[in-house]
Amino acid sequence: MRTTIDSAGRLVIPKLIRGEAGLSPGMQLEIRVTNGKIEIEPAPLKVRIQSVDGLTVAEPEEPAEPLTSEIVNQVLETLRGSRSTQ
């Protein structure tokens, strides 16, 4: 797909690509240049590590959407797919 950068330097990421990447309005993103290519990905969620009832857990520092079984299954499928191509 092709897109353009407007005069203010903004880039529109097409809806199909946003959907496949799991990007949503207001989401914070990390952006960097690596080997001459621009890479954009969701910013990692900041967490604090604590002990709860003897277990070490990571709790988000900011409000976060709860994980659903659908999200977990999507991540597992992605990981399994990337392993089979290595």
pTM, two decimal places: 0.54
pLDDT tens digits, the chain, 86 residues: what are they?
A: 889 999 999 999 999 998 888 888 888 899 999 999 999 998 888 999 999 999 999 999 988 878 889 888 988 988 898 776 66
Structure confidence at residue 55 (pLDDT) = 95
Structure confidence at residue 85 (pLDDT) = 63
Task: For 6-75, give the DSSP string.
Answer: -TTS-BPPPHHHHHHHT--TT--EEEEEETTEEEEEEPPPPEEEEEETTEEEEEESS--PPP-HHHHHHH
